[in-house]
Amino acid sequence: MLSDDKKISMRQAAFLFMTVTFTPAIRLIPGYATQKARQAAWLSPIFTAVLMVLLVQVWQVLYRKYKDKSLMDIYRDIAGPAAGTVILVFYLLWYMVLAALYIRYFAMRLLGAIYPNTDISIFIISMLVVVAYTLGFGMVTFARFNEVVLPFMMFVFFLLFIMMIPNFRTDFLTPVTARSILPAFEASMAPTGLVAYFSFIFIFGDRINNKESISKIGLKLVVFQLVTQVMIIVSIICTFSFRIAQRTQLPYLTAVKQISVFNIFEKVESIVISIWVLSDFVIICFFIICALSVLKSFFKLSDIKPLINIYVVFIYFLAMLLAKNAFELERLSEEITLPVNIALGFVIPVLMLFIGKIRKKV
C-alpha cells in the first residue's frame, strides 16, 4: 500500500531484497556450501532460515518504536551520535566496496561465460551509464522496475529447475547423517552472509511505508529464501555431485548447459545470463542508493540526485582498482565479504536492540 508517491511499500522493499540476494546466491552458495558440507550442503539454508526469523523480529521490534526513521537515525539514537556515526562510516565504506565488487562480478561473469578476450571496461561503462540514468528517476521508479524484473527472474528460475529434473540423481544428496549437522552449519555462513542484506533495506527505512508488516512479509521472505537456496544447491549437486560443484567456477551455469528437452530445447544458458544481467543491475543500483542515502544522512543533504553521476565515476575506478582477476574476487567474497555482511547485517542490529533495551530506548 502506497500512501506517499516518494515512498515505497514494504512489499516493494522485500522484492528488492529478493532480487539483491538472488544472483549472489547462485554464484556464491553452491561452491562455498559444498566445500564445507559436501553432499549435505543443501541443509545449510535451514540454519540461515532460523537466523533470518530472528533478524526479522529484531527489525520489527525496532520499528515499533522508530516508525518513520532510517537505519542511520535508529543507530544514532540508540548508540549516541558519536558511536552511531562511527558505525555508519563502516556501513558507508562497505556499500562502496559492495557496489564495486558486484560491478566487477557482473563484468567478469560476462567475460567468463560468453565474451572472452573483451575489454572489461566496455561492460562496466555500459552498465554504469544505465545505472546513472535509472537512478535519476528516483527510488520509487527503481522499486517499480524491480517489481517487473523479479517475477520474470523467478519464472525463469523455476522453469529451469523443472527442465533440470530429468538430469537429477537424487542419490548425490545422500548420505546425510548426524555428523553432517556441524559442516552444514559451517556452510550456512554463505547463505547467512547474503540474507544479512535484509538489514540493508532499512537504510531507506524512512522511505518505506507500512513497516508494521515487517514480521508478516519477513516470514514470507524466510520461506522464499529457504526454498530458492535449497533449490539452487540441490539442482547443482543432483546434476554433478558435490565434487564437481566444489571445483567449478560457475556451477549453476554449467548445470543449466546440461539441459536438453527432447533434444529440441537446448543451449538455454543465454537465458541465465540475461537474468543475471538484470539482477546485477538491480544490485548495483541498490548499493549505490544505500551509499548515497548514508551520505545524505551524514551531511543532512536535501537531495542525492546531483551526486549520482560523479559517484558513478568514482565507483567505476573503485571497481577497476578493486581486483585484478576472478580469483581475487572469490577470495574477497569468502574471506571478508561474508563475515563483514554478517557483522553489519546481523550482529550490529541485534546489538542495537540490546543496547536500546538497556537504555530503555526500544
Partner 1 sequence: MMVILLVAIVAAISVFEIMRMAKNRQIKEIIVFIVIAVFALAMGIYYITAPHDRSLIYYAFKFLGLDL
Chain residues that interact with partner 1, rule: CB under 8 A: 295, 299-303, 306-307, 309-311, 313-314, 317-318, 320-324, 328-329, 331-332, 335-336
Q: Name which of 265 and 298 has its Cβ closer to partner 1.
A: 298
Least distance CB 125 / partner 1 (angstroms): 11
Nearest distance in Å: CB 331, partner 1: 6
CA 89 to chain centroid, in Å, comes to: 21
Q: How far apart are the first and last CA of the chain?
A: 26
59: Cα within 13 Å, side-chain hemisphere: 31
Min dist CB 2 to partner 1, Å, is 27
> Residue 26: which residues within 8 A CB-CB, separation 6 or more?
232, 252, 276
**Contacts by 78-87 with C-beta closer than 8 Å and gap 24+?**
78/352, 78/355, 78/356, 78/359, 78/361, 78/362, 79/352, 79/355, 85/298, 87/348
DSSP for 2-40, please give it. Answer: -SSTT-B-HHHHHHHHHHHHHHHHHHHHHHHHHHHHGGG
Taking the least distance from each CB to partner 1, the nearer of 265 and 327 is 327
State the minimum distance, in angstroms, from the CB of residue 98 to partner 1.
13
Residues 6 or more apart whose CB falls under 8 angstroms from that of 135 comprise 142, 285, 288, 289, 305, 308
**Min CB(220)–partner 1 separation in Å:** 36
Query: Which of 313, 358 has the CB closer to partner 1?
Result: 313
* Nearer of residues 185 and 314 to partner 1, judged by Cβ: 314
**Which lies closer to partner 1 via its Cβ, residue 51 or residue 111?**
111
Q: How far is the CB of 281 from partner 1 (least distance, A)?
A: 21
Nearer to partner 1 (CB atom), residue 239 or residue 337:
337
